[in-house]
Amino acid sequence: MSTPSRTWVYLERDPKSSYKQLSIKGRRIKARTLYGLTQGEEAMTPEEIAADRDLPLEAVLESIAYCETNPPEIREDFEMEERLAEATGMNDPNYKYHGKPKLLTAQDWARIHRP
Residues 24, 62 share a domain:
yes
Residues 50, 25 share a domain:
yes
In a domain? residue 25:
yes
In a domain? residue 89:
yes
In a domain? residue 3:
no
Residues 82, 46 share a domain:
no
Average pLDDT of 76-87? 92
In percent, how much of the chain has pLDDT > 90? 65
In a domain? residue 2:
no
Phi-psi region of 92 (alpha: psi -120 to 50; beta: other; left: phi over 0): beta
Residues 80, 45 share a domain:
no
The pLDDT score that the predictor gives to residue 5 is: 60
Range of the domain at 86: 73-112
Number of domains in the chain: 2
What is this structure's pTM? Answer: 0.79
